Structures are given as structure tokens and as C-alpha cells.
Structure 1
Amino acid sequence: MSGTRRRYLGGVGGASALLLGAGCIGRDGPGIPDGNGDGGDGDGNDGGDGGQTGTRPGGTGGPGVTVVSVDGPDDIPVAASVEVVREAATEESPPRLRTSLENTGDESITVGEGRGVHLEYVSDDSEALVFLPSDGEYPAEPGCWRLTDGIAVTEEYRTFQIDAGASSGREIDLYATPGEDACLPVGEYRFETAVSVGEPGTDPERSGRWSLTVLLE
């Protein structure tokens, strides 16, 4: 069961903090195809890695994403977890993660806001990166995965239900925000979001926050 309360139109993607490094696919460098078609290290040496470019599978590029920590939420019957689905970007797709929220209580709960709780449309603390639903199409540079324009988002309050002991999962893709010199910037980034719960058929009343820290390198 799910519900929606419409509010107003907002946006994702604007000015962001200084980025530390570039992660564009196709950029020459160690472990990234050097334009000679050999997937080597820039000196024509393929390193004997059996079709891999450095430490990454052939056809990928840019920094790889690693989950550093998942914290919270506290004081509500919800446990958050995150797994990496696609560690590095490809020409076709950006890095992908999967968030999961488990109902650790003995009764069904209503959870909100339905998108934000899964980090959809949530930027990191520095606003250099943003997670977007993996089933959407967005104005981004292929291979680089930097947004070329802001994303308009209707700020609705959506809710959904999780039965006792069950989980809700979503896949989210990682993009760089517009207006930056780099593609996916290396460094450590923290994302935080609110999650509220209530009895089935009612608006969520109890709330907490959970956060995800990732490393791009």
C-alpha cells in the first residue's frame, strides 16, 4: 500500500563544492584504456590482466564506489543496509547501489517519505554527488555521468507499507551534479536522509535519520 500528498515543485542539482579529481570514462591514465585499443597503462602494456584494465573489468572506467558505513536510524523499528550493484561506471550506466529498509518490529508499518528514505534525489553533504532512481533517464554526459542540467522533482510526501520482518529495496544510480569540472570526483562522501514510520493507514509519526558514507577511488 502506498500514498501520496503533493506539495510543490523543487529541484536537484545546482552549485556544488570543489571536486577533487576526474572520473570520466575514456580519459587516459593508469588502468584506463589509452586510446590504442589495448586497455593498457598508457605505454602499450596490457599488464597481463586477462582483459581487464588495471583493477577494473574491461569497459569500465572512472573511480569505483565502496560502502564505508551505514549508520542509523535509531529509535524506530527500521534497519537500513546498502550493497554495491555496479562498482564502476560504464559507457552505458553510472555506478549503482541498492538500498534496503527492513521492518524489525512485530507489526506492519507505514514509511515515508517514500523516495527520500531510499536516498532517491538525495545529495551528499557537499552537494557534489546525487543519487537518482535507476529506472529513470536524466540529462547526463554518457560515460562521465555528470548531470548537464538540474532535475525537477515534485516534492510529494509518498508513503508505503512494510510488513513485519519484510524489507523494501530500491536501486539508485550515482551522478555528479551540474556545473563541475570533474565527472565523478574521488573522495569520501556522506549522504543523510530522514525516515518516518507509523501504523498502517496513518501518516508516519515517529522519525529518525540514517546515513550512508561512500568512497570513490
Structure 2
Amino acid sequence: MSVLVAKGLIRQFNGLRAVDNVTLEIPEQQVRALIGPNGAGKTTLVGLLSGRLACSNGRIDFLGRDITKVPPHKRIAMGMAYTFQITSIFPSLSVHENVAIAARRLCRNEKDTRAVVADALKRVSLAHVANTDAADLSYGHQRLLEIAMGLSQSPRLLILDEPTQGLAEGEVAEFIKLIHDIRQNTTVLLIEHNMDVVMQVADVVTVLNHGQVLFEGTPADVQANIEVQTAYLGGAHVKA
């Protein structure tokens, strides 16, 4: 079963097509990586999928339902969660309270909420800072907090926009382990510049360039493709 099917997506800004006839299909429990040079249209595409931007044309189906015109909060209720390229947390609240706000969408009572929060924080290795104000976390830990907020909603699809940005080397290694854990029951769409991460976690990689799909295939396929190397990787061969 395909969790997400997007067909012929177009987003136009004053004559510029930031997303130009993009078709994307993501099967259940797949880790799909979306890569491309700056300005390729990745974040705009995520905006269309999440509902934060309206499509100029095209259709988006999520779990078999047309959600093209469904607002973001209803997509979240249906099982779609996402993190932003720029962190979006409540800095004056504690780490626990941040995740609890997200978890309460599904939890029936505070006891359930506490259990879900504890599990989400444990999975992203932030349990030890549960009572710390979010503003006092490092930028990398704020990124992990956002992921915990997404996980607390038990999503069918988790969209992560530049999740390793700001993470230390050890934190990136933990993030890779986390993705392998998440994929057991959640489909992941990962927008990522760190090619080492992409090569280690992705089943399929979709490459955008100038708002269009340039190439799609396995990490090994991407490694070997000359067009991708020229457009995105600067002609350099990427090691897995």
C-alpha cells in the first residue's frame, strides 16, 4: 500500500514554478530521501504535502484519500506529522511540555499523555532533559525535540526537513539508529543534505532540480548517476 501519492504537483510563485509537475509515490514503511541543490524546490514540495502551501495544480492522496485541499491540522489528525527546516518549538515551555502539547491530540487522559511523552523522549535520547526549558537546549537537541513531538502523534507518515542540521557527529549516529527504529511502523520522508545519512537510511532517493524530479532510485543508483553528480554533487563520487 502507498501511504502517499502525489501526481503532477505544481506550485507557481509570480511566474516561477518552484515545483514543476512533480509525481511522487511512497509505499508503507519506506524511508524516502528527497535531495537536491539549494533552490531545487524541496521545502516548497514539503509545504504542498503538509498543506502549508496550496497546490497550483495536481493531486495529493494520503492513505487512499484525496487531501489536496485538506488543511494542515486535519492532515495531522489523519496521521501525517512533520518537522520544519527552521525549528518550531515552544521555547518558554519545558521539553516535556512541548511533547505533551503534541501528544494530547491523540491521548485520552494525562496518564496516557505522560506515557507517550516519556516514550518519545526516550527514543530521541532526551529523557534526561525532560524538565529543561526548550530554549536552553542546544540547536541540535531542539531538532531532536521536534522529532519527539512528531513521534508522539503516532504518525503513519513522518516528514523530516533537514533533521540533522546542527547535530554533532555522535548525535547524527544516534539519529541514524532512530530512523531504523522508526521505520518499523512509520513511513519516513527525509529532506536531507548530509549524504552519508541519506546513503545509510534511505530505501529510495528522489532528486529534485529546478523544481522537477531529475532522478529517482536507490542510494547506489544515485551514487552512480552522472546527471545527479553534475547537478547536485558537483561531479564528485559519493562514498556510501
Question: Which TM-score band (shorter chain)?
Answer: under 0.3
TM-score normalised over the length of structure 1? 0.27
Which structure dedicates a bigger proportion of its chain to helix?
A: 2
Relative contact order higher in (CA < 8 Å, ≥ 6 apart): 1
TM-score normalised over the length of structure 2? 0.25
Which structure dedicates a bigger proportion of its chain to strand?
A: 1
